[in-house]
Chain A
Amino acid sequence: MHIPDGYLSPETCIATYAVAVPLWFYGFKKLKEKLNEETLPTLAALSALSFIVMMLNIPIPGGTSAHAVGAVAIAILFGPWVGFVSISLVLLIQAVVFGDGGISAWAVNSISMGFIGSFVGYYVFKLLKDKTKFAPFIAGYVGILASATFVGFILGIQPIFWVSNGHPEYFPFGLKVSLPAMIGAHLLVGFAEGILTQIVYKLIGEKTAQRLIA
């Protein structure tokens, strides 16, 4: 889901930065409220966990691969803003040190994997937490699927708007290809994100989780 440099038009990059910067500022404020001696080690460990699960590429039929993100686990424990900012930090390190995801695409990657994954996962969890014990799994599954759908959308609109001499200038595959490809891969990887979210929730423990959520 890490969009590289060059796949999005400069206009898309600028627009997504314009959206992301105020969200980062507000999210960082929320992070500051949540960070203390007790939460710091857990949040750092969960962010590191996110980094590691993104290295665990899962083969997808059709010659591609995908990975879990770990955003939803942070979001349901520390709130969606903290999930968003934590994943953004991880993505920045990946872009700068490892060349995974573009610098110009840091904003869009933070919005897809961080913001959308966290918020969708968080609200699905909230809706289901008193109805089923599998609420974390479902939240993880739906959250990453929402992230992937957004990536498919933003990639797929590139050839609609940016064409020169009959050839797409940036990402060349349209929505009819990009949406099914991204959603299809993450219908599978959703299980990994779901299981991860459920395990983390279980390990943190119901009581601690309840206290963190409140």
Chain B
Amino acid sequence: MKKKIYILLLVLTLLVPLGLLTDADAWGEWDVDYFKTHLGFIPQGAVKLQNMLNFKHLLPDYSIPGSNEVIGYYISAIVGIILIGAIYYLIYLFIKRKKV
């Protein structure tokens, strides 16, 4: 059963650059500049919170800054899959140790 799921995962991962075909942000996920253009002001509380919580991301917006968009997207996909696999494995080890 899991083999077929792995194949589906592989196929969708190979197709992942299709997600770059649209550069439109999801509704409600814009940068705050969007509000300046569309409303003429930027909500001040939002700016304050964003400055407060601002930190550097390893792969911001699923990209490697300064590198090719598609390559950055592929690498992001692979990093994400590896991290998820690693977390589940750690949880599993943790549970097994407790059960013994």
B59 to chain A, nearest CB (A): 5
A97 touches B53 (CB 8 A): no
A204 touches B87 (CB 8 A): no
Q: How many positions in chain B have a CB within 8 Å of any CB in the partner chain?
A: 57
Measured between beta carbons, the chain B residues less than 8 angstroms from A51 are 77, 80-81, 84
Partner of B88, one of A47, A104, A162, A205: A47
Measured between beta carbons, the chain B residues less than 8 angstroms from A3 are 28-29
How many residue pairs link A and B with beta carbons under 8 A? The number is: 183
What is the bound-complex CA distance between A2 and B73, given in angstroms?
18
What is the bound-complex CA distance between A199 and B4, given in angstroms?
10
Contact A167 to B44, CB < 8 A, known contacts A6-B53, A56-B15, A96-B57 = yes
Contact A57 to B19, CB < 8 A, known contacts A99-B57, A203-B8 = yes
Measured between beta carbons, the chain B residues less than 8 angstroms from A181 are 27-28
Contact A100 to B61, CB < 8 A, known contacts A57-B19, A66-B27, A155-B28 = yes
List B residues 47-83 near A (Cβ within 8 Å). 47-50, 53-54, 57-62, 73, 76-77, 79-81, 83
What is the bound-complex CA distance between A66 and B53, given in angstroms?
25
List A residues 71-130 near B (Cβ within 8 Å). 89-90, 93-94, 96-100, 102-104
Measured between beta carbons, the chain B residues less than 8 angstroms from A67 are 19, 26
List A residues 51-74 near B (Cβ within 8 Å). 51-53, 55-60, 63-67
Main SS at interface, chain B:
helix
Q: How many positions in chain A have a CB within 8 Å of any CB in the partner chain?
A: 68
A46 touches B5 (CB 8 A): yes
Contact with B along A8-21 (1 / 0, CB 8 A): 01100000000000
Mind listing 25 A-B residue pairs with CB under 8 Å? A1-B26, A2-B29, A5-B49, A6-B45, A35-B92, A42-B5, A44-B84, A48-B9, A51-B77, A52-B16, A55-B16, A55-B73, A57-B20, A57-B21, A64-B27, A65-B22, A89-B87, A97-B79, A97-B80, A97-B83, A164-B44, A167-B43, A171-B46, A172-B39, A203-B1
